[in-house]
Amino acid sequence: MRLLQLRRGRTMAAEDDDMSKRIILITGANKGIGFETARQLAREGHTVIVAARDAAKAEAAVAQMAREGLGAEAVALDVTDAASIARAAEQVGARHGKLDTLINNAGVVQEGWGTTTSQTTLEQWRGTFEANVFGLVAVTQAFLPLVRKSEAGRIVNVSSILGSLTLHADPSSPIYDMKSVAYDTSKAAVNQYTIHLAHELRDTSVKVNAAHPGGSRPTSAASRPRWRSRTAPRPACGWPPCPRTARPAASSTCATGCPGKS
């Protein structure tokens, strides 16, 4: 598994030359990085499925793309609801028969700005892991049979450099003081899950990667002070702070990343 840096110029699904036009589902795609990723992939002619917890918000995102001349499909998918996940997988299977790329983008941050490790509540821990880890695993398990039907299946788990144990333990690291324990631990778990699933599927046509998208402007006003503070440094792997979601999202899984930064 490589914790992959997302770069401008190519999309997350366009990793290999054998990937021309693909069927791609993105969770949490009604806003932020997920929505911008959907826009960029649709521009390249891929069949994009915008998945969101709220069906109306998924439809609104698709309508916005349509106004830009971009085609996409909407599906209701709550990563914390087993029945919702099953329905979405059934719908995609019935319509397309396979899924070429699954982008696990949906995620949450439960801790408020300034919350310390000891102040993080069990409710915040559970809420974070329910969406960021258990939800990601549940979605992957539900859609993996469809991904296996692709000639070159891809699973991209949107992770974060904040899941790096090495960087969090290094006083010289730019993220050393960026501690949101529940969120950071959830991304470390995502990285470990990615490694294990990639190992399981190593002899198949399915590749599994984790992607670090860089900084992005938050959609909620409440989190903007936190965003300004946390995206100011330039991390060791060289990714620049990205003031807009378009920059990290208009990008690809690529071979370069943070060697040795696990």
> Is 259 a member of any domain?
no
Per-residue model confidence as pLDDT tens digits over 155-197: 999 999 999 999 999 999 999 999 999 999 999 999 999 999 9
Assign residue 204 the CATH number of its domain.
3.40.50.720
> Is 91 a member of any domain?
yes
Mean pLDDT of 75-90: 98
For the chain, give the mean pLDDT.
Answer: 82
Give the β-pairing of 154-158 and 101-104: parallel
Quote the tokens at residue 131: 């969406």
Least-confidence region, from 60-74, 93-107, 164-178, 240-254: 240-254
Cβ neighbours for 177, distance < 8 A, ≥ 6 positions apart:
none
> Is 36 a member of any domain?
yes
> Is 258 a member of any domain?
no
Q: Which amino acids are annotated catalytic?
A: 183, 187
> Is 170 a member of any domain?
yes
Q: How far apart are the C-alpha atoms of 27 and 61, rounded to whole Å?
A: 12
Element (H, E) at 3: strand 3-5
Q: How far apart are the C-alpha atoms of 235 and 261, rounded to whole Å?
A: 11
Evaluate if residue 104 carries a pLDDT over 70. Answer: yes
Least-confidence region, from 67-76, 109-118, 181-190, 194-203: 109-118
Is 183:236 a contact under the CB 8 Å cutoff?
A: no
Least-confidence region, from 111-120, 211-220, 226-235: 226-235
pLDDT given for residue 7 in this prediction = 33
Q: How far apart are the C-alpha atoms of 132 and 190, rounded to whole Å?
A: 8
Is 251:10 a contact under the CB 8 Å cutoff?
A: yes
**Considering its fold, how many domains does the chain have in total?**
1
> Is 261 a member of any domain?
no
Is 133:189 a contact under the CB 8 Å cutoff?
A: yes
70: left (phi over 0), alpha (psi -120 to 50) or beta: beta
Evaluate if residue 202 carries a pLDDT over 80. Answer: yes
Q: Which residues partner with 207 through β-bridges?
A: 154
pLDDT given for residue 173 in this prediction = 93
Quote the tokens at residue 126: 């559970």
- Provide the residue range defining the domain that includes 60: 3-249
The pTM is what?
Answer: 0.80
> Is 256 a member of any domain?
no
Q: Which residues partner with 211 through β-bridges?
A: 4, 158
Of 222 and 31, the one with more pLDDT: 31
Q: Which of 215, 209, 171, 170 is nearest to 190 (CA)?
A: 209
> Is 233 a member of any domain?
yes
